Structure 1
Amino acid sequence: MTDSHNAPETKAHSLEAHAEHDRMMQIFESFREANDERFAEIEKRMNGDVLSEEKVDRIAKALDEQERRVERLAMKSMRPAMGRDETGDAGRPSERRQAFEAYMRGGDETALRRLEAKAMSQGTGADGGFLVPDETETEIGRRLAAISPVRSLAAIRTVSGSVLKKPFAITGAQTGWVGETDQRPETSAPQLAELTFPTMELYAMPAATNALLDDAAVDIDRWIGEEVEQAFAAQESKAFVTGDGVNKPRGLMNYPVVDESAWGWGKVGSVKTGADGGFAAGTAADALIDLIYSLKACYRQNGAFMMNRRTQGLVRKLKDGDGNYLWQPPSAVGARASLMGFPVVEAEDMPDPAAGANAILFADFQRFYLIVDRQGVRVLRDPYSAKPYVLFYTTKRVGGGIQDFDAGKVLTFAA
């Protein structure tokens, strides 16, 4: 499905995103020049000038804002349309979608209930409400993946039940070599762990006026998708990082962290920076290299860094022994910034750089963290609780947790 009305708007966003990306590269050049001056003063005077520090911090904040602006515009230009195609019968909305729109606009449940009876299924839950059409659910999922940092990287599994139970071979698959005519010896039993990922209910409650619902030009599918995506993404992002697993997913930073030398299944290995609250002087690159190479090669080749903007502001100032900056801005619109050649993903719920903080995570997120979506997004229309507005109680069920403890390591800001 396409929306012809979106094409000029999408093209405009794309052109603006490229212009803002060029502006971001100019700001980064200014940042490098200011930071180089700061380094030169430190080497000359053995301490930095206050004005130089303030200048670098000011340009760094401008760079952060510009990077977020480019990301927002890139997201708008790549965002899939949810509108109807008005080019004839081929683009006509499905019967279920027409029935769902009648329910959303006027509360008419008749067609939806008839379709459920025909399919011998029940779309309403204990609290009422109806499942959104499949295409609307798919587009909501795509929108969430575009703006949720963990969801954009992690593995995602869709299930029909409330819990996913997944066996995992801790010791790996048992294999061996044999000749063509040799007997096949029995392999030893693998050591298995059963991982359980329950799905929890996440809700949003957008409100609409009757005037908006009566307006035939308003695409209800697109409206509900845009209204719930930000609410869902904000709650999901926090839970995927710090969630305690109680009525929410268990976050990737909610597991025991131990020194890499003492690592075991069920824990996340840690590499230290060598200084409390920061990097040891002259060894920042070494600490990051140690973190990268603490992952096995099979995970490292797909590795990415995750940190919040304050930590990213710290690593942005770092250089290697040859004076090259370790952090580089996105090379194009829609690309990610990189650190030592690996993508950097910004997640605001990651810890700030402080003494003992596990502020940087390096992982193959596809193998490290699993997100479980239960099939079905449900909407309950409520025209009574907040008159004259109509509330749409929208729910989805989602879970998450670490699935392979060997696929991710953290950098701890400690001596």
Structure 2
Amino acid sequence: MTDRIEIKAQLTATETGEITGIAWPFGRPDRVGDVIEKGAFDQPEALPMLFAHDQGQVIGVWDSITETPEGLNVKGRLLVDDVERAREVRAMIRAGAVSGLSIGFITKDATRHAKGRTIKALALHEISVVAVPCHPDARIQSVKGGIPHSVISESVTMENEELAQKAETKTPANDAAQIDTKALNAVLSRLDKLEAKSNRPGAPAVVTGEATEKKAFVEYLRTGSAEAKALTTASDTANHVLAPEEVSGEFIRNLMEFSPIRTIADVRSTTSASIILPHRTGITNAAWVGETGARTASEPTFDQAEIATKEIATYVDLSLQLAEDSANVLSEVNLALAEDFGQKEALSFVNGSLALEPSGFMANPDIAAHDNGHAANLSPDALIALMYALPATYRNAGTWVMNGGTLATIRTLKDGHGNYLWQPSYQAGQPETILGRPVVEAVDMPDIAADAQPIIFGDFKRGYRIYDRLALDVFADPYSQRVNGLMRYHARRRVGAGVVRAGAFRKLAMVA
């Protein structure tokens, strides 16, 4: 699939780090004829703001992504108070050195025509601030393409510049290549036969590209075998087949139904068995001095933390008849695995403390605890004090996490003025709140009891990170359970998680 660059609109940034622009304008094709239709964007509520599509350079977040008659309007904020790179990017934008926006997405539905493509549906993954637009007069850049596992890097810019120039170059009519009529008729005849064959009852559909891979994967689930060239085999386990991107994406979405921490944490992908995260453990020691006073030397200290990817595995049995006859065999397997994996993940993300599982935030000893003041009864004053014990940067982006029993108790609590701490959601898709901040229910959080810690509050986007190493791979075993009329599916995935900023959280401890 060809990747293309387009330059479109305007980018501005304020002193506080707010950033606005048009990530993609509607109404006209790009230089190679591609058009993104209005309504094609999935419009997520928020996306990471990267610099030059580098996942290691997260410089902010896009808070508002909306389609207007003009195009895809975006508004976000550079994390200038917390990220040095964000402050540098703000300075470059204000100086005019950087003025481009670039979108990274996966095409879901597109129609090809003589001049290019009309893209009808896409999944938007990220929006980057970039430095070098394709056209000297352009100020916004958009990266287009369907690369399955990563966004498009800026290295394609010059290559596509040349492609665009070639597309604009006109060839004289008398220089056009001559068409071999006999060969063309032979090809058309062959296509007619293939079409007739595919239209017969029971004949397999003729598909290409991503559809071919998905069809082969479904056939693999049904029979345990399929064309090897249409499937991707896991590199670290023999005979395990990687689920196609579309299937893996649906699996991750299903996981979120059973693993709510994924919806609030910082979730990333990795190709490594472990991730090393350097962090600063000390600061410089600046001091006020006179005009000729001696200066004090200082040196910041650094340490590193490691998040290792862990493996979770299971198997599920379906009847041979269901596997052979059901048109929904993929959905059945997908949902069964997502529920099992999701429940196990959710437990580990909260309480994981064993060597074989991801590290849970409640098991992290570096997160400070705030005393409730009573061993059995929740105190409204303690909740308020816990919330404001966090720095404003984390508090203003914080989320409450607790189980349903604790949430039911909080719904009855009032502050000193008689106002309920809990407030319902007044808009579809928006969470309920406690003291103005959203609350997520996690069944694996502890109950209210003496010496327990039933509530945690903090900025999960900054403080807790999840790394997906392997979304899903499956081994279909049609033999071991065949005597019972069953097909067994062995499935596994690899994921790592851990607290990266303990200071972004506070726990509530039920102690007097």
Class of the TM-score when normalised by the shorter of the 2 chains: 0.5 to 0.7
Cα distance in 1, alignment partners of residues 233 and 493 from structure 2:
16
CA gap 1:206/1:94 in 2 versus in 1, 3 angstroms: same
Q: Which runs of 4+ in 1 moved over 6 A?
A: 88-92, 172-176
Q: 1:196 maps to what in 2?
A: 306
Matched, 1:270 2:373: no
1:227 Cα shift?
A: 1.7
Cα distance in 2, alignment partners of residues 115 and 210 from structure 1:
23
Q: Pick from 481, 494, 497: which aligns with 1:397? A: 494
Q: Pick from 383, 390, 396: which aligns with 1:288? A: 383
CA contact (8 A) 2:254 2:339 kept: no
Cα distance in 2, alignment partners of residues 255 and 335 from structure 1:
29
Q: Which amino acid aligns with 1:215?
A: D
Cα distance in 2, alignment partners of residues 175 and 306 from structure 1:
39
Q: Pick from 255, 260, 282: which aligns with 1:149? A: 260
Q: 1:96 maps to what in 2?
A: 213
CA gap 1:388/1:125 in 2 versus in 1, 3 angstroms: farther
1:182-206 Cα distance to aligned partner (Å, 9 max, x none): xxx9995433221111111112322
1:91 Cα shift?
A: 8.6
CA contact (8 A) 1:304 1:342 kept: yes
Cα distance in 1, alignment partners of residues 358 and 316 from structure 2:
23
Q: 2:223 maps to what in 1?
A: 106
1:316-335 Cα distance to aligned partner (Å, 9 max, x none): 11111221211122323433
Cα distance in 2, alignment partners of residues 375 and 167 from structure 1:
24
Q: 1:361 maps to what in 2?
A: 456
Higher helix share: 1
Q: 2:362 maps to what in 1?
A: 253
CA contact (8 A) 1:251 1:400 kept: yes
1:310 Cα shift?
A: 1.6
SS in 1 for 2:393: helix
Cα distance in 2, alignment partners of residues 146 and 271 from structure 1:
30
1:403 Cα shift?
A: 0.6
CA contact (8 A) 1:208 1:389 kept: yes
1:96 Cα shift?
A: 2.2
Q: Pick from 412, 417, 435: which aligns with 1:317? A: 412
Q: Which has the higher contact order (CA 8 A, sep 6+)?
A: 1
CA gap 1:139/1:173 in 2 versus in 1, 3 angstroms: farther
Q: Pick from 343, 362, 372: which aligns with 1:234? A: 343
SS in 1 for 2:508: strand
SS in 2 for 1:160: coil
Identity among equivalent positions (%) equals: 31
Higher strand share: 2
CA gap 1:135/1:300 in 2 versus in 1, 3 angstroms: same
Matched, 1:210 2:316: no
CA gap 1:407/1:207 in 2 versus in 1, 3 angstroms: same
1:128 Cα shift?
A: 2.8
SS in 1 for 2:454: strand
Structure 2 matches for 1:3-402, cutoff 5 A? 93-109=210-226, 111-112=227-228, 114-115=229-230, 123=234, 125-171=236-282, 189-215=299-325, 218-256=327-365, 267-279=366-378, 284-386=379-481, 387-402=484-499
Q: Which amino acid aligns with 1:163?
A: S
CA contact (8 A) 2:252 2:471 kept: no
TM-score w.r.t. the length of structure 2 is 0.54
For the pair shown, which has the larger CA radius of gyration, 1 or 2?
A: 2
1:137 Cα shift?
A: 0.9
SS in 2 for 1:391: strand
TM-score w.r.t. the length of structure 1 is 0.66
Cα distance in 2, alignment partners of residues 173 and 143 from structure 1:
46
CA gap 1:412/1:212 in 2 versus in 1, 3 angstroms: same
CA contact (8 A) 2:414 2:420 kept: yes
SS in 1 for 2:405: helix
Cα distance in 2, alignment partners of residues 396 and 137 from structure 1:
11
1:89 Cα shift?
A: 8.1
CA contact (8 A) 2:285 2:297 kept: yes
